[in-house]
Structure 1
Amino acid sequence: MSDAIPPKPRPEPSDDTRPYWEGVAAHRLLLQRCADCGRVRHYPRPLCDACHSFAVEWIEASGRASVHSWTVAHHPFHPAFKAELPYTLVTADLPEGVRMLARLRGMGPEALRVGLPLRIGFEDNGEGLTLPVFRPAD
């Protein structure tokens, strides 16, 4: 049995998610909005859950968020993340009306509370992938 750590899983952009990932790579959080009824949605998907339209447009998020909930991971969901344990995942409410999940940076979980203001940041992982993260609001 090998002790080699497998590579981290990577997102595979589809036609529906490509604008999101291109935005994140440019350090911009883009959200889908239904071009028919105006409902904002996140995560990206092909169909509006409000009116069932396939028409979509992309808007840039404000960059603000507030804590909805969080969890501290002590067990890796994939072996490649074992060296990063423990880490904190935050579910945050965005003023655009959606929730988003991302890792917490710049503070420990003991400082979190529901409603705490956050800002969206971006981290380049050095392997050609950029991911959104949450940081304390300035």
Structure 2
Amino acid sequence: MGALPTPVPSGLTEPFWAAAARGVLALQRCARCRRFVHFPEYRCPFCHGTRLAFEEVDPRGVVAAVTVVHRALLPGAEPPYALAWAELAVQSGLRFFAAVESGGARVAVGDPVEVGFRPLPDSGMLPVLRAVP
């Protein structure tokens, strides 16, 4: 992929992007039910608790769904490229969505991946899914 737009953090997502800038995957965790929540929310979708804090999580998981994009949807995206949902090992059903940075290798449902970070030209880091050998 080429030069992609730089994400613009909001008050809700700023802790996620600050962790990403350090090369760390941090997701919200509900203080009430202890479940991780992604994408960021103001209220836990499981128990409706309102105390959600970002915590570092294990970036490993497996591909749950993958698709190859043949027409660019974003400026700077050079097709073809793969997008995938990965179910993270830290919690059953917890999924993370990102482009697959595979170095030309294909990934399939069930393949091991981990969330990594790709530097952006302007600043910051973009989360990507990387195949694990």
Alignment check: 8 A CA contact 2:5 2:76 kept: no
Alignment of 1:40 with 2:57, yes or no, is no
Pick aligned residue for 2:48 from 36, 41, 52: 52
Ranges in structure 2 where 5+ consecutive residues have no aligned partner: none
The structure whose residues are more often helix, as a share, is: 1
**TM-score, normalised by the number of residues in structure 2:** 0.87
Counterpart-to-counterpart distance in 2, 1:125 and 1:9: 9
Counterpart-to-counterpart distance in 2, 1:56 and 1:101: 20
Counterpart-to-counterpart distance in 1, 2:4 and 2:108: 30
Counterpart-to-counterpart distance in 1, 2:118 and 2:7: 15
Alignment check: 8 A CA contact 2:107 2:131 kept: no
**TM-score, normalised by the number of residues in structure 1:** 0.84
Runs of 4+ in 1 over 2 A off after TM superposition: 7-12, 106-109
1:4 alignment counterpart: none
Q: Residue 76 of structure 2: SS of its match in structure 1? A: helix
Counterpart-to-counterpart distance in 2, 1:131 and 1:88: 15
Query: Letter of the aligned partner of 2:72 in structure 1?
Result: P
Alignment of 1:94 with 2:88, yes or no, is yes
- Identity, in percent, stands at 35
Residue range with higher mean Cα deviation, 90-99 or 10-19: 10-19
- The structural deviation recorded for 1:33 is 0.4
- The structural deviation recorded for 1:108 is 3.8
Q: Residue 122 of structure 1: SS of its match in structure 2? A: strand
Query: Letter of the aligned partner of 1:86 in structure 2?
Result: P
Ranges in structure 1 where 5+ consecutive residues have no aligned partner: 1-6
- The structural deviation recorded for 1:30 is 0.1
The structure with the larger Rg is 1
1:122 alignment counterpart: 117
Count of residues in correspondence between the two structures: 129
Alignment check: 8 A CA contact 2:116 2:129 kept: yes
- The structural deviation recorded for 1:107 is 4.1
2:76 alignment counterpart: 81
- The structural deviation recorded for 1:15 is 1.8
Counterpart-to-counterpart distance in 2, 1:22 and 1:60: 12
